């Protein structure tokens, strides 16, 4: 699995950078403006978290206590959902589950149900869930803040 992730990382990272407006100085994905709205949408996995553009949001099972354990190599494939402030609650989202984790450089990574949120560079369009279950460590997040492990 790691080889598959590594083989697609470089071209897909370039594609995501072109679509998302680039990265902040700490290597995380730029949020849209001051904060990003997150919502719940139906997918083949069930109801999952997405950003304001409908892109799937994932969690990493190695993250603990709301803190990211995704290093620079990891962030190249799994850019963090960041902005100037914590994300706001959109349709179907429990505002009480939204928190923030401060990154170096002042960026705020949004967490949901204690899970820092990420994108996957292999998702080219809204609604894609290509990161689901990768390496047995990456899963979409449900409205309840739990990892969606089906479809992996």
List beta partners, residue 142: 48
Q: Would the pLDDT of 7 be above 80?
A: no
**How far apart (Å, rounded) are the C-alpha atoms in residues 112 and 21?**
23
pLDDT at residue 3, as a whole number? 43
Q: Which residue has the higher pLDDT, 33 or 72?
A: 72
**How far apart (Å, rounded) are the C-alpha atoms in residues 120 and 131?**
6
Q: CB–CB of 78/118 below 8 Å? A: yes
Q: Where are the alpha helices (DSSP H) in the chain?
A: 2-20, 72-77
**How far apart (Å, rounded) are the C-alpha atoms in residues 100 and 135?**
25
pLDDT at residue 132, as a whole number? 97
**Both tokens assigned to 77:** 């494939």
pLDDT tens for residues 71-114?
Answer: 999 999 999 999 888 899 999 999 999 999 887 677 789 999 99
For residue 104, give every residue at least 6 positions away whose Cβ sits within 8 Å of its Cβ, in sequence order, or none. 26
Domain ranges of the chain: 2-148
């Amino acid at each position: 699995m790691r080889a598959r992730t590594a083989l697609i990382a470089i071209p897909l990272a370039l594609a995501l950078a072109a679509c998302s407006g680039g990265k902040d100085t700490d290597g995380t994905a730029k949020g849209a403006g001051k904060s990003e709205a997150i919502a719940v949408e139906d997918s083949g996995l069930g109801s999952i978290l997405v950003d304001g553009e409908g892109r799937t949001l994932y969690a990493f099972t190695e993250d603990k206590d709301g803190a990211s354990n995704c290093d620079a190599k990891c962030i190249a494939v799994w850019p963090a959902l960041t902005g100037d402030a914590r994300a706001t609650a959109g349709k179907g989202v429990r505002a009480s589950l939204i928190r923030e984790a401060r990154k170096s450089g002042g960026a705020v990574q949004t967490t949901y149900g204690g899970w820092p949120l990420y994108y996957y560079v292999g998702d080219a369009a809204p609604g894609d869930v290509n990161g689901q279950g990768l390496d047995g460590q990456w899963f979409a997040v449900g409205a309840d803040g739990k990892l969606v492990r089906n479809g992996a």
